[in-house]
Amino acid sequence: MPIYEYRCTSCGHQKEVLRKISDEPLTECPQCKQPTFAKALSAAGFQLKGSGWYATDFKGGSSASPATTEAAPASSPCGGSCACH
């Protein structure tokens, strides 16, 4: 459930509230009881730190690719010169 920040435009009271997305928004201020309590814009509750997955995981170009080696001919009585291989 997301945390919403509410602010009253009458008295200036601020409060963070844990609410479901489907819940109706709060309108009554718990301090002054006026119907002027509304959601306020606030910063996101997480930070991306470090180089992150986007810089290391799906980067093209310099990543190491699986080695493609050709199989050496198997030793056989004919020395690999016939069409049986």
Residue (of 47, 12, 44) closest to 29 by Cα position: 12
What residue segments make up the domains of the chain, in order of their start? 1-44
Over residues 38-45, mean pLDDT = 81
Read out DSSP for 4-41? EEEEETTT--EEEEE--TTSPPP-S-TTT--S-EEE--
Domain 1-44 bears CATH identifier 1.10.10.1100: no
Higher model confidence: residue 23 or residue 48? 23
Task: Looking at mean pLDDT, say which of 1-5, 27-31, 44-48, 81-85 comes out highest.
Answer: 27-31
67 — pLDDT class (breaks 50, 70, 90): low
Q: What is the pTM of this model?
A: 0.49
